[in-house]
Amino acid sequence: MRAVIQRVTHAAVTIEGTVRSSIKTGLLVLIGIEDADTAEDVEWLSGKIVNLRIFNDEAGVMNLSVKDVDGGILLISQFTLHAATKKGNRPSYIRASKPNIAVPLYEKMIDRLTADLGKLIGTGEFGADMKVELLNDGPVTILIDTKSRE
């Protein structure tokens, strides 16, 4: 799994002109799933996201997690995170999982993040044409790949 995590002051996802989900202070997480991903990747990545200390404490030091600041999480599936751009100018998405594999893992990630955060998270809709709006705070953007954790 690949995740792009952005610290935001607000974020929202709109589908067909209707806001599906929105958060105020928190994390916008774009997630890409590949066939090699497992439930273990979901657990590890969720724990990493929820406990990542990238929010400022009273001294202005990034020392607090999204849980510590009672922030929200907006999770958006994004197969393009697995784009291969080595050859030519048209990205290949061969590594991105098809829905039969990706959807169950995406749903497990929703459930796990909700449990780890201790409250419901916002989501997009798998496979939908989504418009994502955010105000990146910092800017702070973190990339995590579960295949590079060792």
Is the pLDDT at 150 greater than 80? The verdict is no
3-class secondary structure per residue, the chain: CEEEEEEEEEEEEEECCEEEEEECCEEEEEEECECCCCHHHHHHHHHHHHHCCCEECCCCCEEECCCCCCCEEEEEECHHHHCECCCCCCCECCCECCHHHHHHHHHHHHHHHHHHHCCCCEECCCCCCEEEEEEEEEEEEEEEEHHHCC
**Number of alpha carbons in the 13 Å side-chain half-sphere of residue 87:** 3
Q: Among all residues, which ones are annotated catalytic?
A: 80
**CB of 79 closer than 8 Å to CB of 32:** yes
Task: Give the model confidence (pLDDT) of 22-51 as tens digits.
Answer: 999 999 999 999 999 999 999 999 999 999
Task: Give the model confidence (pLDDT) of 59-114 as tens digits.
Answer: 999 999 999 999 999 999 999 998 888 888 998 888 889 999 999 999 999 999 99
pLDDT of residue 42: 98
**84 vs 25: CA distance, rounded Å:** 32
**Which amino acid, one-letter code, is at 89?**
N
Domain ranges across the chain: 2-144
pLDDT of residue 95: 86
Class of domain 2-144: alpha beta
pLDDT of residue 68: 98
pLDDT of residue 92: 87
Task: Give the model confidence (pLDDT) of 119-138 as tens digits.
Answer: 999 999 999 999 999 999 99
pLDDT top residue among 67 and 149:
67
Peptide bond between residue 91 and the one before it cis (omega within 30 degrees of 0): no
